[in-house]
Structure 1
Amino acid sequence: MVFWEGYVSDELMGTFAPIVLYWVYAGFYHLLPPLDRYRLHTRRDEEKKNLVPFSTVVKGVLLQQLVQAIVALFLLTTTANASGVIVQPSIPKQILQIAIAMFVMDTWQYFVHRYMHQNKFLYRHIHSQHHRLVVPYAIGALYNHPIEGLLLDTVGGAISYLVSGMTARTAVVFFCFAIVKTVDDHCGLWLPGNIFHIFFQNNTAYHDIHHQLQGLKYNYSQPFFSIWDKLLGTYMPFNLVKRPEGGFEARLAKE
């Protein structure tokens, strides 16, 4: 039994909980005090290098989430109706389904993401929108071109859900976790004790390398592991060094 049972259906929860959590978690990062000693880029760099205003980023994220909500509600409702009475799997089986979904999502996003960099037309007209945030921040985690948002995140999430065979209730956990991880990867802060930095090599600094000019052809993996980068030669090691003026900087290991 879960806390929303009897109040909201699993299908509605799976659709809207990740969206609400996105704004709560990203908003938490946005409202934190300056924390300059933990930033991967200075505030001056954020203002100088980013090529899109904050208001445009918010609108872009809301548009992507609208599409995601429509697709998710249709998918979760359709599969629930087709399955008839849903029996919630055991905890070990749900953990296995989530692990499968993580691998499927990583695989889908790696190859689609990489192709969007290699194809000059797709990069120029679609994926470059996300890279207008040269200095990433939490609320911009889902700032993408609408077509990229559909192909990379929405379709990737749908495939992960279908292949893993999870129920809508398990999907609530998986999609909320994926959203929190994605936001954290773009937060631009290297906070002590961050559990994602402890358990995932694919983390804030790892993805920050990809957003820099020298790293555009590396570290494509997202949002969980670095498996495909390492297997296919696109992994870029980095060193996290302290800046004299405060904060950290993720530098390519070959520099």
Structure 2
Amino acid sequence: MGFMSGEELVVTLAPVAVYWVYAGIYEALLQHTTVLDRYRLHSRRDEETKNIASRKDVVRGVLLQQAIQVAISVAVLKLEGRGAAAAAGDGRAAQPEPFLVAAARFGVAMLVLDAWQYFMHRLMHSVPCMYRRFHSWHHRVAAPYAYAAQYGHPVDGVLTETLSGAAAYVASGMTPRAAAAFFAFATVKGVDDHCGVAAPWNPIQAAFRNNAAYHDVHHQRGGGRRNFSQPFFVVWDRLLGTHAPYALRQRDGGGLEVRAFKPDPTR
């Protein structure tokens, strides 16, 4: 049967493939067309002058993070044994779950992922040595673009993203097939949050208040203590007083800019 079943391969590799395909679409549209120019949150010059990390550094950093992510995913799958059970023909694992059960597991995974990432993300900003040594890498990209979504220090990537995914998988009890769909969706959402484009017709950004403009506030100078939530909801920011509203305005020279307001201390 080999070291990994087909479902296990899909769970581990689908998010990586989805990441580069979806980010590549944004990159092609932004670099070779003007279709999205009116919705850009940062000018091309902003990307050149505000971002400390080079695009080559970003690619290398993301590939390293994804390699670690795949290794941990394999370990979790082997320890859980759900993929092996399905491959071996276990009747319970092989039968598709009722839609409502699968949807409930999907929802649980979203909530667990969100909670883990909010508190770990906030911790990274609250402990100076953790920010300097680890999380500051991600903020070297002050004008975000799509394929920089997973750029950061490997320790930050493991603690914030990879382990949150493992916790969501274990807590929700999803099958490997459902997990592949969930992690592909979460990957698309993460890329979209960093794409640097706020298009009103984008269904992902329309469905979630936690979107590219919302997360752009966090990447702005002075925004490091607000809008920690990622990738789906804004509930933790609202409950714990770190939510900062914003307004989108036309930028001189074309495109849009995000104007953030101070968090409401009463929330």
TM range, smaller chain: over 0.9
* TM-score, normalization by structure 2: 0.90
For 1:181, the equivalent position in structure 2 comes to: 189
Per-residue deviation at 1:89? 1.4
Question: Cα distance, 1:253 vs. partner?
Answer: 2.8
What's the CA shift for 1:254?
A: 4.6
**Preserved CA contact (<8 Å) 1:75 1:158:** yes
Q: 1:224 aligns with which of 232, 235, 242?
A: 232
Which structure 2 residues correspond to residues 5-44 of structure 1 after superposition, within 5 A?
9-32=6-29, 33-34=33-34, 35-44=36-45
Give 1:143's aligned residue.
Answer: 151
Question: Who is 1:110 aligned against?
Answer: 118
Taking the TM superposition and a 5 Å limit, the aligned residue runs for 1:85-96 are: 85=90, 86=93, 87-96=95-104
**Cα distance, 1:214 vs structure 2:** 2.3
CA contact (8 A) 2:200 2:206 kept: no
Please list, as runs of the form range in 1=range in 2, the aligned pairs for 1:153-164 lying within 5 A after superposition.
Answer: 153-164=161-172
Correspondence for 1:4: none
Deviates more, 1:79-88 or 1:39-48: 79-88
Contact 1:130 / 1:144 at 8 angstroms: preserved in 2?
Answer: yes
Q: Which residue of 2 aligns with 1:167?
A: 175
**What SS does the corresponding residue of 2:259 show, helix, strand or coil?**
strand
Q: Which residue pairs with 2:105 in the alignment?
A: 97
Task: Give the root-mean-square deviation of aligned CA atoms.
Answer: 1.5
Structure 1: any 5+ residue segments left out of the alignment? 1-7
What is the distance in 2 between the residues matched to 1:142 and 1:116? Answer: 15
Deviation at 1:75, TM superposition (A): 1.5
Using the aligned pairs only, state the percent identity.
49
Give the match for residue 212 of structure 1: 220
- Aligned residue for 1:229, secondary structure, equals helix
For the Cα contact (< 8 Å) 1:208–1:250, is it kept in 2?
yes
- Which amino acid is 2:47 matched to? E
Residue 20 of structure 1 deviates from its aligned partner by 0.4
Asked if the contact 1:88/1:167 (under 8 Å) is kept, the reply is no
CA contact (8 A) 2:7 2:176 kept: yes
**DSSP 3-state at the match of 1:241:** strand
Q: C-alpha offsets along residues 200-221 of structure 1, whole Å, 9 cap, x if unaligned?
A: 0000000000000121100000
Q: Which shows bigger deviation, 26-35 or 124-133?
A: 26-35
The one-letter amino acid of 1:249's match is E
Structure 2 CA distance for aligned equivalents of residues 254 and 42 of structure 1: 24
Secondary structure in 2 aligned to 1:215?
A: coil
SS at match of 2:222: helix
How many residue pairs get matched?
Answer: 248
| Residue of structure 1 equivalent to 2:47 | 46
The corresponding residue for 1:77 is: 78
Q: Give the aligned residue type for 1:244.
A: D
| Structure-1 separation of matches of 2:76 and 2:221 | 38
Matched, 1:58 2:66: no
**What SS does the corresponding residue of 1:149 show, helix, strand or coil?**
helix
